[in-house]
Amino acid sequence: MPIPFLKFPRLIQLEIFKQLEFTEIFLMSLCSRKVKNMIQNLNLEAGILVYGLLDSIVNVAVGPHEGLWQLQDFANFEHFESIPKNEMSLMNFEDNTIECSYKKEMMNGKELCIVGYHASEEETVLKSLQCHVSSLFRNKPYNLLMVASPSALARSAAISHLNEVRIIIEEPQMLDTSQLDDFMNFHPNLDGVQIMHPFTLPR
């Protein structure tokens, strides 16, 4: 028999949410609109939301503004060219119905649930993800984007209202100024940009 979570009085539901980690709260918010509304009533606050983009992976972490070392995982997504039929589920995600899969992976000694989606739905998923995550917090956290590959730089256009961006691409000759121009056109109102890349002068 399941534990009838929705039948608990509201205060007990809130007490249970207090025992969950951020990744669990996020996954609960994907269960249904009703549960998402409950989470919104928790009045969660965050100092900073960090969106990390690396090739096919999107990671969202949450923490206090002053301490990036105190970040906690919040959401993990990964795009695939295709999702096998037997792994496919439908997810209602901010008024969009998305075909997805759920994969469990060990990361830093913890098992994480990674939401898989079609690469062709990249823009919809990233926009919905940001909208969904932002809606779970009472305040407006500082939005930091960390980009770790040129392809991720192009994909980042779907994430908006950013305060700061850090581009960390270590391989030389992977980044040119036209890519950065495009990027800055997509994000014209940033408070700060940090770029870590071994640039070379034209010959």
Q: In the complex, which residues of this chain contact another protein (CB under 8 A)? A: 1-9, 11-12, 15-16, 18-22, 24, 27-28, 30-35, 42, 44-45, 89, 91-92, 102, 104, 111, 113
How many CB atoms neighbour CB 65 within 10 A? 11
To another protein, the closest distance from the beta carbon of 192 in angstroms equals 28
Are 75 and 62 spatial neighbours (Cβ–Cβ below 8 Å)?
A: no
Q: How far is the CB of 63 from another protein (least distance, A)?
A: 11
Q: Which is nearer to another protein, 16 or 196 (CB)?
A: 16
Nearest distance, CB of residue 3 and another protein, angstroms: 4
Q: Which H helix or E strand runs over 166? A: strand 164-168
Name the region of 105 (left: φ>0; alpha: ψ -120 to 50; beta: rest): beta
The radius of gyration of the chain from alpha carbons, rounded to an integer in Å, stands at 18
DSSP state, 160?
-
Distance of closest approach, residue 144 Cβ to another protein, in angstroms:
20
8 A C-beta contact, residue 166 and residue 196: yes
CA 48 to chain centre: 12
Q: Which is nearer to another protein, 9 or 202 (CB)?
A: 9
